[in-house]
Amino acid sequence: MLRAALIAAALLAAPDASLAQLRPSQPEPPSGWTPKTLLHAKRHVVAAAHPLAVDAGVKMLEQGGSAVDAMVATQLVLSLVEPQASGLGGGAFFMYYDAPEKRVVAIDARETAPSGATPELLLGPDGKPLAFQAAVVGGRSVGTPGTPRLLEAAHARYGKLPWAKLFEPAIALAENGFPLSPRVAELLTKDKGLSDSPAARAYFFDANGNPKAAGAVMKNPEFAKTLRLLAAKGADGYYTGEVAADIVAAVRGYAKNPGSLSAEDLALYRVRDVEPLCGHYRALHLCGMPPSSSGGIAVLQILGVLERHDLAKVRPNSTEAVHLFSEAQRLAFADRNRYVADDRFVDVPVRGLVDAGYLAERAKLVRPEKSMGRAEAGTPAGVKVALADDPVDEVAGTSHIAIVDAQGNAVSMTTTIEGFFGSKIFVRGFLLNNELTDFNFSPVEDGKPVANSVAPGKRPRSSMAPFLVFDAKGGQLDMVIGSPGGSLIIGYVAKAIIGVYDWKLDMQKAIDLPNFGSRNGPTEIEKGTELEATSATLKAMGHDVRAIDMTSGLQGIRRVAGGWEAGADPRREGVARGR
């Protein structure tokens, strides 16, 4: 019935449309994509955003290290070779499967607002929200970083190799040099504000002030010194002493836009152990992050709404697929934008939002023949305060690491400094985050408080969605998945899960699928892909269609007979390697 309605709508919109136009053929991959080959491995796998980082992680596994040892080494190299996305100046969400204990662990290492932050932090002198660029560049946007504490905490619990050994690959690359990647080189040409920082200008630009080109040999002795200090002293070598002093001076001393981050903010930072947010989808048991991320809730909501449809009978990349997925996303984002924030500061109705009965009622709003347009937030059980909708978005920076070791332990970690090149402040060889711009700029909208407003010590809402997926019957780990991409992350991760389990694609093909969805605004389809052929049909159904760049960076690992298969996103430089 749904297919008939879609075809009828298409024919009304374009009377000369043929069935072939309704079922577009697979074109060549869009320009800029690097086709990736599905990896098969029997023992262990590392998938991350840069080959050098993956090599560092694999090296730790080959030397008897654990998944967490590999994660630490991988993250440290990513800090160096993919500096615009993640690193020591940012934060992360960490999901871990402890195979011997058959237990899922979740750690929130999100950045926090400094103790000196006020609800008016992101407002101008006129009381109106600052322009985004004005808020990002400089110390005002910098939150207290969480990544170094996370690396230490995870290693203390689950590491096997000596702490200092994990730093060796990154130190060697920082001192001996590595080639600037094409992706970073391209982003340098588009960035605004990075060259305002003298330290960043000296590192990323040549003597004439031009961004360094792809292939330029990058040496970062300052970062090597920082790493040696952390290797010797642990995370306290970052959060106290000379590194902390330099971070504070850079943030508070930024002339155009100083921040309030203090030495005490750094010294007092701790990661937060949280209960994994788990739910079911068909024959799967899925575990993601609870608040301060919205990613876990939103992915479970999307899947919960779509579970009412037989997606196995829906063709990938079809109008029907885009319609159903976009409508489910609208409902999830409507709830996200009203209710989700740091749950130490706001009562987030987490269980109500993912309750099966609530999602069944929400699913009734999805009409087979017509888009609902902008969705309204629902009223799940547990709502205590009337809140305003929050229009803030997240920009598409970030990185993801997926690892499985020989013992079956697994890491799914999404890591970030928020936007590309963060706050643009470069200190001790790394960039500081601009995470505070993930808060809503105004504490009040339409006379109602906003859940995701600024407060001292508060973690800004995120969309990061690292997931671990299990066979619900046997309880066996089946998939490790996650992606960068700002608020688009939610759709990317849900798409990959559906691609594997409903459409029976292998891990690489599921990652390769064109991206699509809606963040409760336009229906977004990935520019340059076959999905553009669905536009007329979708418009006839009431969708406001926009073809945009949707540069996911999915990294995924899935259990198969005899071991694992893994894939990395063709839209970025990542790879999956193992044996």
pLDDT in tens, 170-206: 999 999 999 999 999 999 999 888 988 899 999 999 9
Res 225: pLDDT: 98
Q: Which amino acid is at 98?
A: D
CATH code: domain of residue 559: 3.60.20.40
**332 within domain boundaries:** no
Cα-based distances in Å from 48 to 32, 99, 402, 432, 566: 18, 21, 7, 21, 11
pLDDT given for residue 29 in this prediction: 62
For residue 199, tell me if it sits in a domain.
yes
Q: Can you list the residues of the chain whose pLDDT is less than 50? A: 1-27
Question: Domain total for the chain?
Answer: 1
Q: How far apart are CA 572 and CA 166, in angstroms?
A: 25
Query: What is the side-by-side order of every strand in the sheet holding 410-416?
Result: 272-274, 103-109, 91-98, 410-416, 399-404, 45-48, 575-578
Helix (H) or strand (E) holding 468: strand 467-471
Residues facing 547 on adjacent strands: 525
In a domain, 223, yes or no: yes
Question: Does 369 reside within a domain?
Answer: no
Within a domain: 138: yes
Domain range spanning residue 488? Answer: 33-111+118-294+340-349+384-515+550-579
Instruction: For residue 533, tell me if it sits in a domain.
Output: no
- Residue identified by tokens 């850079």 is 250
Q: What is the pLDDT of residue 358?
A: 98
Catalytic residues: 398
Domain annotation covers residue 181? yes
Relative to beta strand 523-526, strand 545-548 is parallel
Residue 494, domain member (yes or no): yes
